[in-house]
Amino acid sequence: MSSAWKVAYADFVTALMAFFLLMWILNMTPPETKQGLASYFSEQALLDTSNASAISNNALINRTDKLDLSEAKMSELERSHYLIAKKLQTVLMQDGVPQNASGLSADDVGVQLRISNDALFKPGSTEFSPLALKVLDEVLGILKEYNLYLVIRGHADSEEAAGSSFPSGWELSAARAAAAAHYLTSKGISPTRLRAVGYGDSRPLEPGNSPESRQSNRRLEFHFHRPDAMSYSIVY
């Protein structure tokens, strides 16, 4: 007599047990955590906000605005993400970075700061503006205070390298990300905690080639994340 049905039956029972385990976990999960997970997996939550006064669309970050951190039932990861986002928010507001030139976002891996190249660099170059040095010093302070790693992503619009000494936006964006990383290492941050990546115009925030779209797309991103997430594709 064939025993093939026993294998199929065992697979069915295993799947059924897994289903009931999942239902039990979902039933035990607090509503705010479910909301945070839903925000993370939604397409909109993965996008930066152009409003410098907002921290993130992620409910795991937003819900802490009304809580006392000493009493809130937050994980250490959530707490650190919240505090870092608040620090970065203060930087943007104090330094007067235009709202349409900056943004903050968060996910379960880390927190990201985005600032337009127009505010950080002289046109077509890697020369820092006074504002860039202030921002980099704040980034430096966060890296010294928290055990975090940082990915610096350089982006250029489709025409930004024109008239510069760089043959294309790829080289320009990579050189700007590398310049930011070099500044941080010169101040004592270990190179093993940093990654610098240049994307040129391959990852635009806004579609099209209008002046407004190009302004949004030329940017530098600082993504702070846990050390164990260095190998995740999401951090690059």
Walk along the chain (236 residues) in steps of 10 and give the mean pLDDT of each run.
Answer: 68 79 71 53 40 36 38 63 82 70 81 91 93 92 90 92 91 96 97 95 88 88 83 60
What are the DSSP E strand ranges found in the chain? 102-106, 110-116, 149-155, 194-198, 219-225
Q: How far is CA 2 from CA 6, 7, 8, 136, 165, in A?
A: 9, 10, 12, 69, 74
Between strands 219-225 and 149-155, the pairing is antiparallel
* Three-state DSSP state, 125: coil
Per-residue model confidence (pLDDT) at position 95? 66
Per-residue model confidence (pLDDT) at position 136? 94
Amino acid at residue number 74: M
Amino acid at residue number 141: G
Q: How far is CA 26 from CA 17, 19, 30, 66, 118, in A?
A: 14, 11, 8, 25, 45
pTM: 0.67
Q: Which residue intervals of 167-210 are DSSP H helices?
A: 169-186
Per-residue model confidence (pLDDT) at position 19? 78
- Per the CB < 8 A criterion, the answer to whether 106 and 114 are in contact is no
Neighbours of 93 (CB within 10 A): 13
Neighbours of 86 (CB within 10 A): 17
Q: How many helices and strands (H and E) does the chain possess?
A: 8, 5
Torsion sign (Cα): 224, 229, 234, 236: positive
Burial of residue 177 (CB within 10 Å: 0-12, 13-18, 19+) is: buried
| Angle CA 207–211–213, to nearest 5 | 25
Residue 56 token pair: 């993130």
76-94 helix and 130-145 helix, angle to the nearest 10 degrees: 160
Per-residue model confidence (pLDDT) at position 12? 77
Q: Which of 136, 148, 211 is nearest to 181 (CA)?
A: 136
Residue 10 token pair: 């065992």
